Structures are given as structure tokens and as C-alpha cells.
Structure 1
Amino acid sequence: MTSPAAEPASEVPSPPDATATPSVAPAAPPAPAGRRITGAIWAALAIVYVVWGSTYLGIRVVVETMPPFLSAGARFVVAGLLLAAIIAARQGVAALKVTPRQLGSAALVGVLLLLGGNGLITLAETSIHSGLAALLVAVVPAWVVIIKACFGERPTLGGVAGVLLGLAGLAVLTLPGLTGDVHLGGVLLVVLGTLLWSSGSFSSSRIPMPKNPFTASAYEMLAGGLACTALALTRGEHLGLDVGEISTRSWVAWAYLVVFGSVVAFTAYAWLLQTAPLSLVATYAYVNPVVAVLLGALILGEALTLPIVLGGAVVVLGVGLIVSTERRR
């Protein structure tokens, strides 16, 4: 799950839905009032809804036969190189030029988002269902509001209510792990990943990032991908790895995450930020987890238990409150 790399103060970042491009939106002027919502806008929004929502399913299929951090590292590096090549082709090589401080900042954010966020979620999905992971990740906007409050930014009443609802939903979703019905370690890995992702999202608007959000995202993906690869080698994921034993469906899912989850959906999202009302674009934050749960149930046969349905509904309601109120500030 992913979006460009610079967060305007009033915007709520997207959850780390494992799409390989960082999850905070580039500063972009809102669409002029009264602009007609065209078919192209609805098509781009559908791409963001479905593709980003499906990335959790894609990860679950990838880790069936691929090592988690090794597959994530390769995916982010390839996606970063693809994005850099597109930038160079469309805007010229000069568009990739950044200062050492900007490069360092992009690398730091990339490690927090992609190693800490996406990487831990990829590891978690070796033991928990994709739908549960998506609903746990949906709490990210609540963590961001809390982090901002710790740094003196006062939340709205709606934002506070959304945070409380989100945390209540998180508690309900965690209950099966406490009772032993699901792998508690996987649940805690996702929660830790969302905290690191939220920290990266918050940091990205307060350190000297590259001005071009596409360039920033390319460097973030490369840094995060290399960090994931280094951790994979440290964990020994390459030892005894037989590429011939990786299933075709895992390869297809991996390629889908690189091409569609990163480049296609990211481009659609960036275009939407420049052409559509932000209130409309923001709806992906609570549509994505619903899509993820439905796809997990339909394609992988993941059970829709009472805690998932109830906790998920509470989380989505909380995220909706945060998105609708925080963006008005």
C-alpha cells in the first residue's frame, strides 16, 4: 500500500497497505470547487480502492512460498527502480537529483515505512489472515492523530472520537489473539508495523524531503527495499532457498504487487490528488480494509468471525470520522 511522500499538515496518511510506495500524500491543491467528477476520476478511484485493497491478499499469496523480507526487499527495489526510470523518461534525469540531506531523509522515511511498516506486515501475514491484517492496519490514522497531539497539534473533537473508536476496534480485533484463536505474535507485529509506519508518515513532513514526491518515493522504496533485503540476509532467509520451489501463483502475486500495487495505483492516486476533491480521494482509507476482507473471504476462504466483523466495523467508522474531520482544518 502506497502513496506519495510528503504529508500536508491537514491530511491523513493512507495505511501501510503494502503497495510499495510510501503512504503519505504529496502536497497538492484541492480540485476547484464545482469541478465535475468525470469518468476518469471514478476509474482512478476504483483502481485505488481495488488495487490497494487487494495488496494484503497479494502479500498472503506471496509468502506462501517466498521468504517474507526477501520477497519484500526485492519488490521494493524493483518498484523503486521502475519508478525512477519512469521519472527519468518523463521528466529528465535532473528530476532525480537531490541533496545529501534530502536523500538521507528519504532513506530514513523509507526504512520506517517499508521495513518497519510493510516489512513487518509481510512477516505477520505468514501467520494471520490478510483481512485481519488490513483491519489492524486501518488504525494508522488514529496513531497519526495521537503522534501529532504529542507534538502539540490539537486534534478536533471528531478526531478524538475517531481515535477512541479506532482503538476500541483494535482491541476487539486483538481479542482472538489473546484467546488463542489467532496467532498473537502476528497481531502484535502488525500493530508494531502500524506504529512505525505512522512515525514515518509524521516524520516525512518535518524533515528536508525531496521536493518532487515521485522522486522521494523512488528513493524511499530503494532504501526500504535494501533494508528489507539486509534483514532477510541477517535472518538467513536465503539459506536453503530453492527458487524452483516458489509457486507460480506466488510469482504472479509478487509481480502484481510491483506493477499494479506500486506503479499503477500510486500514479492513479497522485493524479487524483491533483484533479479530484480531497474529501473524495480520502475515502480509500476506509474502503481499502473492506475490500481486503471481502477478497480474503472470497478468494482465500478466510473466515469472517464476529470479532473481525464487529471490530472492523468500529475501526472503519473511526477512520471515517478522522478523515472527515481532520481534513477540514
Structure 2
Amino acid sequence: MGFLFPSSVFPGVAPSKKESMSSTTTEPQSDTITPTSPHAHALMPWIAAAFALVYLAWGCTFYGIRVAIETIPVFLMAGTRFFIAGAILMVGLRFFQPKGFHWGTRREWRDATVVGGLLIVIGNGGMTLSERTLPSGIAALITAGTPLWMVLFDWLRPGGRRPTGTVAVGLLLGFGGILILCQPEHAVTTVASPQLWGYLVLIGANICWGAGAIYSRHTHVEGSPLLPVARQMLMGGLLLFALGVGTGELHRFSLGAVSLRSALGFAYLLVFGSLLGYTAYVWLMKVSTPARVGTVSYVNPIIAVLVGWAMGGEVLTLKIALSAVIIVIAVVIVIRR
């Protein structure tokens, strides 16, 4: 979403027994550094810097999206962002990590198309579209509940795991917080209300993201964990751009009408939101623990709310604050189960 987690390494849903068994029988790579290894202490400053980068880069992404779509059409902006990011990642991996690089099989590109369609086209594209009517902070808080949908889909899939009582409480708490957040500010809200449709589009996007993330956990991954991410970005970006063309965005778009503010927002999303953020996140999954990396899920939305308030003049109400506390607590319960 705004802070798109690499679905193949997301810490919020534990791998299945089959995945766990296969991972324990895989020969460890020589460049892998565990949090308890002798080299871990020397890496602490870099680990701290990587966490700060991910927290700030992805925390500011929602406001960056809001700024970028002020003068750039939604689907063209998102599609171009992800396609360029995916191409840069793919080329970078080809030249800087040639040992584990491969262009991918037909099956891997098929999976990338399915996952990219769910996560990037519907998930991120829907979230980006919702920010035309919703404040960036509210969009971030609702998106923070994505791990809840992941746990729910992990339970409902064939052979899925039933959530424990504690996790069930977390799910109810989180969905309750989202429901409070979506309550209209005014007593009367019609079905034609842009804000109501913004909520519905965003929740639908989160549901598809959760389904896509669970699907991706059961796809074949070979080589660097950034390889499937790059493929998903490429395919998702292409599909989003095609959607922009199909909806007439390209016909209405004028490069001369793009403001400097929107151009800077787009550049931020490309460099910090996609390239640096993803790379730092995947590296942290390699050198830190899933529990620590999982803090991204509930630190980023708080940063997003504060950035929207401080830089975008978005209103902070008691309802938003209460919802934020409830959703963050629920995500902590679910991820740390």
C-alpha cells in the first residue's frame, strides 16, 4: 500500500508447516547474518539507520501520494512509479547481485502478474484513488489494518490456521477501530458521498492486498527476495498504466500541467517509497528479527498521521486519535501473537 511490504517476507503471518520445513532444510547462504552472530553488533548503527529510513520513508509515503496526485492522474502516476522502480530494481539486481539473479520462469512471471494485480493494481491503485477524497492520515490508519485481513484470509484458505483466542480479540478490536474511523462526521451521509466511496474503495483495496499477500506466500521464490518484488512492480506498473490509458487519463494528461510540488512527490515515492524503502526492509528481514521488523506495521501509520497534520494541515480529531490507538494495539496483538 502506501508502505508496501514485500509480500514474500511480511512478518505478520507465520509460514505454514510445509514452508517452515522447507526453509529449515535449505542450505544457509554464506552471506546471511543472524541477529545473534558476531557481526551483528558491528551492524547495529546500520540497522538503526535502516529502521529510521523505513519508518520515515514509508511513514511519509501517504502524504507523498496525496501531493503527487494533485496534478498527475492517479493510475498513470502509480503505474509509472512502480514500473520504473521495478525496472531499476531488476537491472540493479542483475549487475550487483548476479549470483542469485535470474530473469524468471513463465510460472514466476504468471505469479508476479497475479500478485502484482492484487497488491499493486487493486491494493495500491485503490488506496491511491481513495486519497482523492480521504486525508492521507486516515488512509494510513485504515491501511494499517491490512495485517488483520491477512490473518483472516490465512484462516479461511484451504488448510488454513484458525486464529487463537488472543488473535481473534485483536481482529475484532482492529475491525472495530476501522469501523469507528469510517463513521461519517455529519449525521447525514448519502451513498453519493465522495468520502463514503473513498472508504469503500480503500477497504476493498486492503482486502485484495491481504488476499494477494497470502497467495504470494505459496508461490515459488528463487534467488534474492527482491526479485519477486521487482517482477510484481513491473507487471503491476504495466497493468496500472494500461488502466490509466483505458480510463482516459493519458488523453487528458498534460506534462506541462504537472506542478513542481507533484513532481517532487512523485520523485519521493519512486526513490524513497519504492527503491530505498524496499531495499532497506528486505535487508532488515535478513539481519534483524521478524518481531522487530514487524514494528513497521504500527509505527508508520502514526508517522503518516503526524506528517499529514504537520505538513498537509489535516485535522486531528478525538475520533481519529481513538481509532489510531485501537488499530495500532490490534495490529500489535496480531503480529506479535
TM-score between both structures, scaled by the size of structure 1: 0.89
In 2, distance between residues paired with 1:316 and 1:241? 38
Q: Amino acid of the residue matched to residue 302 of structure 2?
A: V
- Pairing partner for 1:301 from 300, 313, 333: 313
- Pairing partner for 2:60 from 54, 57, 70: 54
Aligned pair 1:32/2:36, yes or no? yes
> CA shift at 1:211, angstroms?
4.2
CA RMSD of aligned residues (A): 2.1
In 2, distance between residues paired with 1:190 and 1:241? 24
Partner of 1:18: none
Q: Report if aligned partners of 2:9, 2:285 keep a CA contact under 8 Å in 1.
A: no
Q: Report if aligned partners of 1:106, 1:209 keep a CA contact under 8 Å in 2.
A: no
- Listed as ranges, the matches of 1:1-329 within 5 Å are 1-7=3-9, 11-12=11-12, 31-32=35-36, 36=41, 38-92=44-98, 95-151=101-157, 152-176=160-184, 179=187, 180=189, 183-325=195-337
In 2, distance between residues paired with 1:149 and 1:111? 22
> CA shift at 1:118, angstroms?
0.5
Match of 1:148, SS state, is helix
Q: Report if aligned partners of 1:84, 1:96 keep a CA contact under 8 Å in 2.
A: no
> CA shift at 1:91, angstroms?
1.8
1:25-62 CA-to-partner distances (Å, cap 9, x unmatched) read: xx888623895472221111011111111100000001
In 2, distance between residues paired with 1:49 and 1:120? 22
In 2, distance between residues paired with 1:254 and 1:178? 33
Greater shift after overlay, 234-243 or 315-324? 234-243
Greater shift after overlay, 156-165 or 214-223? 156-165
Structure 1: unaligned runs, 5 residues or longer? 14-26
Count residues with an aligned counterpart: 310
Higher CA-based Rg: 2
Residues 5, 141 of structure 1: CA spacing in aligned structure 2 closer, same or farther, 3 A cutoff? closer
Q: Report if aligned partners of 1:106, 1:210 keep a CA contact under 8 Å in 2.
A: no
Q: Report if aligned partners of 1:177, 1:187 keep a CA contact under 8 Å in 2.
A: no
Greater shift after overlay, 229-238 or 169-178? 169-178
Structure 2: unaligned runs, 5 residues or longer? 14-22, 24-31
Residues 29, 6 of structure 1: CA spacing in aligned structure 2 closer, same or farther, 3 A cutoff? farther
Q: Amino acid of the residue matched to residue 174 of structure 1?
A: C
Q: List structure 1 runs of 4+ shifted beyond 4 angstroms.
A: 27-30, 33-37
Greater shift after overlay, 171-180 or 102-111? 171-180
In 1, distance between residues paired with 2:120 and 2:34? 28
TM-score between both structures, scaled by the size of structure 2: 0.87
Q: Amino acid of the residue matched to residue 199 of structure 2?
A: V
In 1, distance between residues paired with 2:33 and 2:163? 22
Identity of aligned residues (%): 36
Q: Report if aligned partners of 2:34, 2:286 keep a CA contact under 8 Å in 1.
A: yes
